[in-house]
Amino acid sequence: MREIVMDTETTGLDPFDGHRIVEIGGVELDNHVPTGRTYHQYINPKRDMPTEAFEVHGISADFLADKPPFEAIAQEFVDFVGDAILVIHNASFDMKFLNAEFDWAGFPQLPMSRALDTLAIARKRFPGSPASLDALCRRFGIDNSNRTLHGALLDSEILADVYLELIGGRQPDFVLSRKTGPAMVDDGAWRPHPRPKPLPSRLTEEERVAHARRVESLGDDALWKSFAD
C-alpha cells in the first residue's frame, strides 16, 4: 500500500478569498515504511502575501518571486502522488486548497475519499485531548525542536512519525520482506530471544499431582514419559 504523508502552506485560510498555496511537501510510505522519496516545492502564489503569512511561513514575496506558479508544477505533483492515499492533518483544509488550485490549473480534482485525516484519527483515539501536530509530538515523544517555523516538508516528515504512532506504533526492527513464497521474513529481521528468567508455572500443586497420576496410569509407553528429564 502506497501512501503520501503531505502538508501544504498557504497565504490564508480560504482559497475562495483569493488565497493560494505557497509550499507543498510530501513523504512517501510503502506499507507504512518510509521509502526515502520526498516531494518539496515552493510556489509563486501570484498575489501579494499578507504580513501575517511572512510570520507563519518564514518566507517572503521576494523569496517566492522566481518560484513556479501552481499550474507549472501541477503535473509533476500529480505524477509523484499517483494513486496513493494522501495522509494529511486536517485533510479538509489542504484538500480544499489543492482542489481549488487543480481546478484553476485545468486539472481534475482529487476525491476527498483519497484523503486520510490524522486529525480525525487523533480525536477518535484521544477524545477531549489536544490533537494539534505539536501536541501529538509531545504525546508520542517525537522530536519537533526544528519546527520553529511551519514548513511543508518538515511538517510532512513529522506527521509521518505521528501517523505511524497513531496507527499502532512503529516497529522498525520487525520488517516483513516483499518476497513471495513460504519465507516471508528477511534473514536479518527481528527474532524472539529466550527469556532471561523463565515464567513461573501456572499449574497448582494439586493439578501437577493429578497430571502425574494420569501419566503413570498410561503405562511405560506413554508419550508424556518420552519427554521426562
Please give the C-alpha separations between residue 89 and each of 85, 124, 213, 224, 226, in angstroms, as whole numbers: 13, 14, 63, 58, 60
The residues facing 41 across adjacent strands are 24
Which residues are designated catalytic?
Answer: 150
